């Protein structure tokens, strides 16, 4: 406040600042206009078919404008154009290489899966042919095994379905064995619940099964002295497997059947009966000695092939016994 402000000097300073700002904006406008003009020239050259890069930065454009002659400008643009082409070519090669690598990674897995699936299909078809050939031979030369299908009235619908499921497992086990049985379904009616359940399981394959199905009783098909009815209620214990006999299995779920039904049926027909020697070879727990049909099939097939009771009775569920007797 004590000093006097020199207004004239201040005016000079302000005027000079305005002039500098105006000159800077004018120069910027000139630069922008020249850059735009240069871009228009490049666009015209590109349309004319000259070697001009598609993308050019401001620094490159300024370098282009600073070139001393027209030929220098052309050479610089050609250099930028070739550089851009090299970059595009390298990027294309990298993309192709990445695609080829991905394809080579996919092809081995696909070929391996195709080979594996084709091998499995070929193996399965050849094994099916071998199994069917064995079963076909058993229908001529094999030992018969009978499933008695006369217990439908003694079971509920659910129990019949469970029985059929066990027979299906038995047939599959027999078909894959080395020396299969010739399976007979006796007392089998086409309008029975058994038949409906078999159709549900086998569908079109039911008519192609290599088994014998008949509505006759087994006593009308085979001599009585050859038949042995296997039942857990029999007082006679089976000692050895007889290859000359024909064994009969009752097609039922024993848990819902009254004790002695299969034994009474066998006695009524005057047939010999037998029970598996479970207590002779196994430390049996308390409980019924009834086994499922597929377990019976496994036991009979093992006895037929080896005659070894210990090996055959391994198919008895472990929960039913504590172990094997040391000296049966």
The reported pLDDT for the residue numbered 166 is 94
The DSSP secondary structure of 82-146, one letter per residue, reads HHHHHHHHHHHHHHHHHHHHHHHHHHHHHHHHHHHHHHHHHHHHHHHHHHHHHHHHHHHHSPEEE
* pLDDT value at residue 17: 59
Tens of pLDDT, residue by residue over 204-230, are: 888 888 899 999 999 999 999 999 999
Is 93 a member of any domain?
Answer: no
Domain with residue 273: its CATH number is 3.40.1280.30
Question: Do residues 67 and 202 share a domain?
Answer: no
Greatest Cα pair distance, the chain, in angstroms, is 148
Q: How far apart are CA 51 and CA 36, in angstroms?
A: 19
Which pTM was predicted?
0.62
* Structural domains in the chain (count): 2
* Average pLDDT of adjacent 10-residue blocks, the chain of 328 residues: 61 61 48 72 78 81 82 82 84 86 70 59 65 86 93 88 93 90 93 92 88 93 94 92 94 71 92 92 79 93 92 89 76
What CA–CA distance (Å, rounded) separates 308 from 30? 109
Q: What is the CA radius of gyration of the chain?
A: 48
Q: What single-letter DSSP state applies at residue 238?
A: P
| Residue 150 shares a structural domain with residue 293 | yes
For residue 240, the enclosing domain spans 142-324
| Whole-number pLDDT of residue 163 | 93
Please tell me whether residues 161 and 310 are part of one structural domain. yes
């Amino acid at each position: 406040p004590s000093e006097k402000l020199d207004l004239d000097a201040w005016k000079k300073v302000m005027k000079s600042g305005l002039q500098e700002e105006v000159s800077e904006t004018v120069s910027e406008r000139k630069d922008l206009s020249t850059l735009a003009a240069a871009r228009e020239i490049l666009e015209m050259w590109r349309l004319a078919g000259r070697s001009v890069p598609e993308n050019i930065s401001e620094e490159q454009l300024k370098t282009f404008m600073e070139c001393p002659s027209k030929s220098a400008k052309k050479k610089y643009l050609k250099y930028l154009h070739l550089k851009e082409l090299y970059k595009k070519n390298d990027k294309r090669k990298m993309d192709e290489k990445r695609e080829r690598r991905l394809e080579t990674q996919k092809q081995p897995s696909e070929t391996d899966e195709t080979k594996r699936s084709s091998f499995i299909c070929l193996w399965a078809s050849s094994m099916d042919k071998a199994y069917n050939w064995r079963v076909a031979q058993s229908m001529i030369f094999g030992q018969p095994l009978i499933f008695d299908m006369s217990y439908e009235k003694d079971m509920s619908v659910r129990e019949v379905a469970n029985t059929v499921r066990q027979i299906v497992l038995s047939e599959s086990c027999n078909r894959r064995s080395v020396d299969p049985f010739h399976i007979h379904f006796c007392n089998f009616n086409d309008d029975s619940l058994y038949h409906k359940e078999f159709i549900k399981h086998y569908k079109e394959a039911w008519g192609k099964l290599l088994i014998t199905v008949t509505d006759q009783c087994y006593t009308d098909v085979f001599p009585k002295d050859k038949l042995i009815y296997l039942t857990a209620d029999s007082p006679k214990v089976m000692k050895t497997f007889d290859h000359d006999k024909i064994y009969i299995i009752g097609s039922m779920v024993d848990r819902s059947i009254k004790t002695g039904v299969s034994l009474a049926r066998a006695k009524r027909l005057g047939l010999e009966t037998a029970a598996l020697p479970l207590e002779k070879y196994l430390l049996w727990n308390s409980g019924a000695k009834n086994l499922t049909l597929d377990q019976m099939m496994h036991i009979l097939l093992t006895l037929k092939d080896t005659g070894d009771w210990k090996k055959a009775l391994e198919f008895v569920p472990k929960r039913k016994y504590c172990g094997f007797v040391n000296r049966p």
